[in-house]
Amino acid sequence: MNWNDKVVLITGGTGSFGKKFIQLLLEEHYPAKVIVYSRDELKQHEMRMAGFDHPSLRYFLGDIRDQPRLKRAFEGVDVVVHAAALKQVPACEYNPMEAIKTNILGSSNVVDAALDAGVKKVLALSTDKAVNPVNLYGATKLAAEKLIVQSNAYAGGKVTRLSCVRYGNVVGSRGSVVPVFLQQRENGKVTVTDERMTRFWLTLDQGVRFVVRCIEQMHGGEVFVPKIPSMGIMDLARAVAPENDIEIIGIRPGEKLHEVLISEDESRHTVELDDMYVVRPAEAIWFGMEWEKVGKPLPDEFRYASNNNSEWLSIDQIRDMIRPIEEAHQKGKLE
């Protein structure tokens, strides 16, 4: 795929993923135009002041709940990366209809606008919390995933193809536990909900590069899942605050002990590649079935979960991953 002549739009473009994604595109792929679509004028201004003022960059104010605005923004766009979402679990629990309006109905608006505008590729960002969800955020992301994948049924006679990427926790993203641990470290004690807890982990750079690859390879209808390492929450606490006491405070409502990226039921129509899994659409009526010629099928009752992973991060590896966040934290304190 040649990015040079492509117009790329990212919803939620002022977030941590959006900024990293845009930086990578501008530095390595040189698209014709990159459009930041988001609803917060202050964040757009701050982003521009932080150096995101490339000649090919455009800022477009709008909410994914506003379908007419999306349709206007999508005119002439080739690739849409759908990253806008309400993702804070407690906020979604306390404001359930707001989460549904943004994560589900907003995703429906993205689909409709892309189909109407003739966008060629739509890739939506999902999460491990969408698999067997136990909180409203996960449930809305599951619904959004199904909506994106099944909307290929509407695209048979059109150029638009829609797929998803599903991965785990991003080191240092907004809402990550690492800044919380760094703050708690100064008080001499960090809090952990349950010492048995495990999580999938990857860096922002890894996530962004994976998304770029998936855009280049997608046929439509797939859910792409990278092979990423797991870490234990106690190892993370020891990596961040090795001298501190650790207090176990009990698991919170809507929280899992372990995360799942591929369920046993999904594994029946999933293929494995060297560095990722591709969950093909269960219905073989349109796109995304080409992967069965590329990957190999998974064994019966395969389950890709953070506690049965074959790759685990050591405390030293975790320290290496969190070092940039730690340095930014220290810099913020000095300023």
Residues recognised as catalytic: 129
Task: Fill in the amino acid letter for 206.
Answer: Q
Task: Fill in the amino acid letter for 207.
Answer: G
Query: What region, left, alpha or beta, does residue 30 occupy, with left being phi > 0 and alpha being psi -120 to 50 degrees?
Result: left
- The H or E element containing residue 45 is helix 41-49
Judge contact between 14 and 38, C-beta under 8 A: yes
Sheet holding 198-202, edge to edge: 169-170, 198-202, 230-232
Phi, psi of 90 (to 5 degrees): -60, -40
Q: What is the CA radius of gyration of the chain?
A: 20
Q: Which of 131, 160, 134, 156 is nearest to 146 (CA)?
A: 131
Tokens of 263: 């369920």
Task: Give the contacts of 313 (CB within 8 A, at least 6 positions apart).
Answer: 201, 229, 230, 231, 235, 321
Judge contact between 277 and 309, C-beta under 8 A: no
Count of Cβ atoms closer than 10 Å to residue 228 Cβ: 24
Task: Give the contacts of 164 (CB within 8 A, at least 6 positions apart).
Answer: 123, 124, 125, 126, 145, 148, 149, 222, 223, 224
Q: Which of 323, 309, 125 is nearest to 229 (CA)?
A: 309
Tokens of 155: 């695209």
Angle between helices 136-150 and 106-117 (to 10 degrees): 20
Give me the residue label for tokens 């709008």: 62
In angstroms, the Cα distances linking 35 to 24, 57, 75 are 14, 6, 11
